[in-house]
Structures are given as C-alpha cells and as structure tokens.
Amino acid sequence: MDKQTDIRTSPIAGTWYSGAPGQLRNTVDRYIENASNPALPGEVVAVVAPHAGYRYSGQVAGHAFKAVKGQAYDTVLVISPLHQYHSQPILTSAHTAYQTPLGNIPVARDILDRIHANLKEKTGVGLAQIRNDQEHALEIELPFLQRAVDGEFDLIPLMLRDQSRTFSKALGELIAETIKGKSCLMVASSDLSHFHPETTANKLDQLVLQAVTDFSPDTLFDLKDKGLGQACGLAPIATVLWASRALGADKVTLLSYDTSATTTGDRSSVVGYGAAAITRPI
C-alpha cells in the first residue's frame, strides 16, 4: 500500500470533537488561550491530559497543552489505555499516519520498531499492530498537539491493555532509553474516577493527583489495589512518570482539575479530569 495513503482516518471527528477544520481550530485555540498556568520550574518533558469529548474535558486539556504551546518537537509519544478488548498487552497503529480534520500526522515507524525490538527482548512481549482501531483516548490528544506544537512532528502511538505495575515500569524505562537525547514530548492520556457522586469523585481524584504530583507511580498502583483511586489511564500515567524520571525529570505540577458536572450540571454521577506537567531542571 502507498505510504501516502495508508492513513488511519478518524472514527470520532464530528462526535467527540468537531469535524469541521475551522471550528475545531477555533475550539482548541480557545481552550489553550483561556488556560492560565503557574510558572513551571524547568523544561516540560511530558504532560498528563484527559481524553473525554471536548465539551466535557477540553477546558482541562487546554491547560496541559498550554504548557507546551509554541514548543517544537521532532516526535510526540502519546500513550493511552485501549478501551476495547484485545488479547495483546500493548498495541500500536499499523498505519503510516493518523488523520484529524487538521491534517495528517506521520507515524514514527523507526522508533516504534526499536521499542518493539527492545520490549520483546526485555519482557518477551512486543508491540501488536492494529488497523482501523476505534480508540478515542489516543486520538483525542492529537488536535491539541497540532495546534500547540510549533511545526510538524512524528507520532509514537502506544495503547496499553496491560495495566500492571511491572509492565508499566519496564515500558517506562525502555521508552526513556529509546528517546533519550531526542526532541520528544510524552503525553499520558487519562481520565480520573468514573460515575461517582462529585464529592466522592473529588476525594478519589485528589488522592490520585497527589500521587502524580508526588512523582510516585508506585503509589498510583497502591491506590488502585486498595480501591482508593481510579484512572482509566493509570498505567499510562505511571509509565510516563517512570520514563520522565529516567530522563531527569524531578517535578510534577498540577495544572487543572474539574469534573463533568461543570458541563452537565449533574453532580450525582461525574467523571474526573486532570492536567499536569512533568518537568526537569534546565
């Protein structure tokens, strides 16, 4: 197949976010422009961003991508959960590019091949390639990246089914080895607690966000194991924390937190959203 036409077309444009390029640009730009972040203590290595429909979590996501607005990167690694069932623990796209209404983003196949080979050697499990996936959690970050990042970039798409501590740590350390010295931003895609009353959600989410800002991926898994914290992308967040630490990062700054109740008005059953930036000393 011609590499120029081997594109993963969007299954969510027009539903999770606008399918009209002009409207999408304006919406994303507004979320980023309206975000007000604290001063960050170093170079941004990674961000944590939510992945709900833009009307629900776009304002929170805007804070994450405001942290990298105007920065240039050769590659961006986006790691998300995979909400659909698949027998393999970690997946990537078999296509050569992702498409959004804002244009195509080439897949960094050479880097994915290295991750696959190193992961296979280290864990016995490589990257499974899939075509025409329906996963929203990875794609939802792409229009934000297209508007925030200065210039073009290649994409390293990873989708996790394995939510274990051991696999997450091994993957994080391996990612750090693979991208060390490269111009690469990491994005961990995750929502927080799901479908609790807002008061309960706030308590659960604050414990998770405290573990993130404490730079403690192990605590994230401890909270999960004890039923004290939830995040559908908990393993992606932990993976990015382990990778960031190995790349010299030492600080996580919470940028925003909210729930779906802000949009829906329903406080009886909400989804939590958080944004954070991971930095290393300059």
Q: What is the CATH number of the domain that holds 81?
A: 3.40.830.10
Using CB atoms within 10 A of its CB, is residue 116 exposed (0-12), middle (13-18) or buried (19+)? middle
Beta strand spans in 150-269 (E): 154-160, 184-189, 194-196, 251-259
- Percent of the chain residues past pLDDT 90, beyond the cut: 96
Q: Does the residue 70 lie in any domain?
A: yes
Q: Does the residue 1 lie in any domain?
A: no
- Total domains present in the chain: 1
User: How much is the mean pLDDT over the chain?
Assistant: 96
Rounded Cα gap, residues 219 and 13, in angstroms: 35
pTM (two decimals): 0.96
Rounded mean pLDDT of 137-160?
98
Q: Does the residue 147 lie in any domain?
A: yes
Token pair of 211, please? 């573990």
Using CB atoms within 10 A of its CB, is residue 121 exposed (0-12), middle (13-18) or buried (19+)? exposed
At 232, the amino acid letter reads C
Tell me how long the chain is: 282
First to last CA, the chain: 44
Residue span of the structural domain in which 33 resides: 7-280
**Cβ–Cβ under 8 Å, residues 248 and 280:** yes
Q: Does the residue 2 lie in any domain?
A: no
- Percent of the chain residues past pLDDT 70, beyond the cut: 98
Q: Does the residue 228 lie in any domain?
A: yes
Q: Does the residue 32 lie in any domain?
A: yes
Q: Does the residue 84 lie in any domain?
A: yes
The pLDDT value given to residue 2: 40
Q: Name the residue among 143, 141, 104, 128 with its Cα closest to residue 5.
A: 104
